[in-house]
Structure 1
């Protein structure tokens, strides 16, 4: 209850939670909230500015921007949540193993992670998407691969600081095996600081998804996706047709902001317990 009160007392946490609820509502009720089908082109309504008929205007194909933004929330959240979730599971498992077992194989695994992190994110993402294809699940897999080293390194650092603690030696003396020590004694203490990074990473995944789509390496038309919508309207910006890119860009900003605020609030909530564990 004290952690919940700490979270509720944070204006940033409440704002982030409110923005998240808006996104979840868009995901759950997209067919109800969207006034038009998101992929239905209407050449006669091309490039219409915001109006009572089309609240956020239409794009060059005549598709309603509001409808596409609402449905794009599903795509961007789906990619963000699945990629970070998969990266978290794989990264935590790798981090625990290489942190607990120090030796040649652990060092080799860390060098492989260094190899992944040595590439610029967009270059590696473009290469993987080009090989695997521009599909939603392929983009999620690519982002998961990019996030695994971050989670693995964080967990490894925590495990290295915990593996020689007295409670670990006590568990070993009581007859506990390596698997039990790693996943029943060390992991619950090591994973708490990493959970804070999950929220921030989801925002980063949404931003990377939009970035990959913007440069043509993400999902393809006519799939509604925020970065793809910004890219489609970028060429019209110099002609004064601002609404095609502006509103999807604001959607990206608010979505990433919501997860950043939630991550900051979670860090404040977790800080007391982390300090208590250290004592």
Structure 2
């Protein structure tokens, strides 16, 4: 069994540094994929109301036989549900679909700056935290200016900011902001949907370590201190993505991967997506 280290969030809650994502996985297929991941040793599962597969995650949790306190479950609030009362209602709906009485991390999925509702949304999330319905609260796709506004105008510092992050989009400035304010960095699309896996720097490092380029990239994330949530529905790939703890990248390897940053986004721009 692979032993995944934990990251201690700013409120003392521990999150596994490696989790399992289910973006773009159908609800029925999600159940089997999550069960495969749990059998492989993953204990953190990341979903969202927008993925329309919270029911599938819930079925996997229920049938896994694992104690609830061994699992770390994340879900996210969709853009249309932002606002104080609507956030509370959307959270109730997510819990019902998951079949749970609490989650471990609840995130604002996008800042949607044109709507300008994320302050009221965050205050609702602070209430959910105070009521014990989620163990931690955070954001996703927030930029430094939006994070600073939360810090200035609300009570609780986000535990996590989950953002697109991979060797082609390394987000060094944003990661520095997180580090200064005690916000954990979590990477979605950690493999850039495979766009960089043929890069010579990665294939050369992979060959030397007798690992795949994908494993090298995931190991790079871990050594940077990122929380990472690779997604796959292929059982062999699910197992491969957690087989990261028997090798270590050298300083030279890390420096070579640092040269791959090119501002490559596979998803929307957070400043304009609403």
- TM-score greater than 0.5 by the shorter chain: no
TM-score bucket of the superposed structures, by smaller chain: under 0.3
**What TM-score, normalized to structure 1?**
0.22
Higher-RCO chain (CA-CA 8 Å, sequence separation at least 6): 1
Greater Cα radius of gyration, structure 1 or 2: 1
More strand per residue: 2
Higher helix share: 1
